[in-house]
Chain A
């Protein structure tokens, strides 16, 4: 192939690239880019659910505004002083912190087990995928049934083992509702975490373990000094992935504890304001704040993961 012909082919291919990308880019711009901009814009307007098109710009009113009652009297209104919003933020952060921490530890344990060669390992690895494959709504319903206060099997097990003295209304009571939703998330997401960490463990060469064994390093020390540092990048990526997912949690909470203030998260707050309370603009403003939080963490992920883009 001559150099000049190679160049023309290169130029021809670059032109083709645009053509091949265009359909995907148009679709993404239409279903993600444009709606995102519109949602942000609605947050700065007085848009209503029945007619979002006729929204008018009102500035930062949905976020923070001084509502004057006359001379020297008035109050701040808006999201930034809305106690309900901040409770949703707090609930989301607690949910994310606890579930991701527990899932990381349990996921690491499961990954270490699956990294050992033993008979039936393939079967166990397949079984671990089951909770991941079950739709979130179904998981929430299954656990709602198991956690049922009168007929639930969790109370039955707890009583038989002597862990509970009386049946607990897990989902309905304010003290335990958050534990219940966390439990469902941990059950559903630990396998995913385990498989991501396992992929990291499998990149560690056998020889290192071999060398540690010959040098008489104890298994526990090998874990802390060899396994954990070498698997750390994979664990970190898995943690960020899960955190992003946990921060937008909606399905589990909506199905398991509807209308409960004790478990209301940012996504639930947004959805309810948009479509149940007829607070379309206010909900849009809240969704913009949620977007900012997640965008920030995504940028962090892209830096940490050092993705191979070549």
Chain B
């Protein structure tokens, strides 16, 4: 009975692993296949060629698109963390009227459907001359990275003991000094996790990137992948699409595996989207 239960449990675990990992495994498999090998479904590696990778990276705009994604996501994260630390200090460590309302507003914005601001944002983007520039994306990504960053950092700062800033207050240190010299050194773990989650959200964003940017050299990688197509529907270059997919996904998976414990903690402190 007991061994039977163990076997059933083991099978369930195997099933979960298969469900989670098979699609990516299959994408990797396809990305190394070319020619007719692609068109016969195979479950184990049976041919190996880097042709899809050299095609995606060697010609066209894809390397540029990846670079754009890295740039946009990095700048977005740095700006959100800067604004977020400052705001979180006020929200977590200072009692003032309207604080709760403000926190609720920030949480609501993080649940906001991006589509609800699309036409208004489009007007701003065009009005500022940012249409078809990466700046339009950094600006619009603040909508989801900033409330999330503020919320998570506030939760983290709130839980730090009072004693750590008491000494600084007695010494007459300014709030700015307290943030930079007392809190910031303690906050690295929270900053790394929040920054990573914000980076992933910005890296994966599609709607704004599709709408505010329109030429091959300003696109981000997800939009570029969505737009890869052959000369006809029958000629979709699946090998190239899978190679591009693996390129934009592999770094994320490595990061997620390294930081998995912290990411799960970040999930539960609220505000992360699926």
Q: Which of A63-71, A184-192, A204-212 contacts B (4 or more CB under 8 A)?
A: A184-192
> Chain A nearest CB: distance from B182 CB in Å?
14
Complex CA–CA separation, A170 to B111 (angstroms):
32
Tell me which of B27, B102, B179 contacts A21 (CB under 8 A): B102
**A36 x B117 contact (CB < 8 A):** yes
**B118 x A199 contact (CB < 8 A):** no
Complex CA–CA separation, A113 to B17 (angstroms):
12
> Chain A nearest CB: distance from B135 CB in Å?
12
Tell me which of B108, B140, B253 contacts A298 (CB under 8 A): B108
Given A36-B116, A146-B26, CB of A118 within 8 Å of CB of B260: no
**B204 x A136 contact (CB < 8 A):** yes
Per-residue A-contact encoding for B242-274, CB less than 8 Å = 1, 0 else: 100100110011011100100110011010011
**A199 x B245 contact (CB < 8 A):** no
**B26 x A153 contact (CB < 8 A):** yes
User: Chain B interface secondary structure, helix, strand, loop or mixed?
Assistant: helix
Given A20-B86, A127-B17, A141-B241, CB of A267 within 8 Å of CB of B120: no
Size of A's binding interface in residues, CB under 8 A: 101
A152 within 8 A of B: yes
**A196 x B267 contact (CB < 8 A):** yes
A270 within 8 A of B: yes
B4 within 8 A of A: no
CB neighbours (8 Å) of B113 from chain A are 247-248, 267, 287, 290-291, 294
Interface hits, B84-128 → A, CB 8 Å:
84, 86-87, 89-91, 94-96, 99-100, 102-104, 106-109, 111-124, 126-127
Complex CA–CA separation, A126 to B123 (angstroms):
42
B50 within 8 A of A: no
Per-residue B-contact encoding for A176-188, CB less than 8 Å = 1, 0 else: 0000000000011
**B274 x A13 contact (CB < 8 A):** no
> Chain A nearest CB: distance from B207 CB in Å?
5
CB neighbours (8 Å) of A193 from chain B are 274
**B21 x A130 contact (CB < 8 A):** yes
B213 within 8 A of A: no
Given A133-B200, A135-B203, A137-B225, CB of A267 within 8 Å of CB of B142: no
B30 within 8 A of A: yes
A213 within 8 A of B: no
CB neighbours (8 Å) of A214 from chain B are none
CB neighbours (8 Å) of B184 from chain A are none
B43's nearest neighbour on chain A, judged by CB, is: A153
Q: Which of A78-86, A223-231, A237-245 contacts B (4 or more CB under 8 A)?
A: A237-245
Interface hits, A78-120 → B, CB 8 Å:
109-110, 113, 116, 118
**B119 x A141 contact (CB < 8 A):** no
Tell me which of B43, B90, B206, B267 contacts A250 (CB under 8 A): B206
**B256 x A110 contact (CB < 8 A):** no
**B86 x A130 contact (CB < 8 A):** no
**B253 x A133 contact (CB < 8 A):** yes
**B252 x A134 contact (CB < 8 A):** yes
Per-residue A-contact encoding for B220-244, CB less than 8 Å = 1, 0 else: 0011011000000000001001100
**A294 x B257 contact (CB < 8 A):** no
Complex CA–CA separation, A127 to B176 (angstroms):
42
Q: Which of B8-16, B55-63, B185-193 contacts A (4 or more CB under 8 A)?
A: B8-16
**B24 x A142 contact (CB < 8 A):** yes
**A291 x B116 contact (CB < 8 A):** yes
CB neighbours (8 Å) of B200 from chain A are 133
Complex CA–CA separation, A141 to B41 (angstroms):
16
Given A145-B238, A189-B274, CB of A34 within 8 Å of CB of B24: no
A17 within 8 A of B: yes
B147 within 8 A of A: yes
A157's nearest neighbour on chain B, judged by CB, is: B41
B38 within 8 A of A: yes
Complex CA–CA separation, A110 to B225 (angstroms):
31
B35 within 8 A of A: no
Beyond the given A16-B90, A134-B249, please list 12 additional residue pairs across the A-B interface where CB-CB is below 8 A.
A31-B139, A113-B16, A126-B257, A127-B17, A130-B253, A134-B252, A135-B222, A145-B242, A151-B41, A244-B111, A250-B115, A250-B206
Interface residue ranges, B against A (CB under 8 Å): 9, 12-13, 16-17, 19-21, 23-24, 26-27, 30, 38-41, 43, 83-84, 86-87, 89-91, 94-96, 99-100, 102-104, 106-109, 111-124, 126-127, 139-140, 142-143, 146-147, 150, 169-170, 174-176, 179, 200, 203-204, 206-207, 210-211, 222-223, 225-226, 238, 241-242, 245, 248-249, 252-253, 255-257, 260, 263-264, 267-268, 270, 273-274
A/B interface sample: 10 pairs, CB < 8 A: A21-B91, A125-B260, A130-B21, A131-B20, A137-B226, A188-B274, A248-B115, A250-B207, A270-B118, A290-B116
Interface residue ranges, A against B (CB under 8 Å): 1, 9, 12-14, 16-18, 20-21, 23-25, 27-28, 30-32, 34-39, 42, 47, 52-53, 109-110, 113, 116, 118, 124-143, 145-146, 148, 150-153, 156, 187-189, 191-193, 195-196, 198-199, 241-242, 244-245, 247-248, 250-251, 254-255, 266-267, 270-271, 274-275, 280, 283-284, 287-288, 290-291, 294-295, 298, 301-302, 307, 309
**Which 8 interchain pairs have the tightest Cβ spacing?**
A35-B120, A38-B120, A291-B116, A24-B87, A35-B117, A20-B90, A17-B90, A248-B113
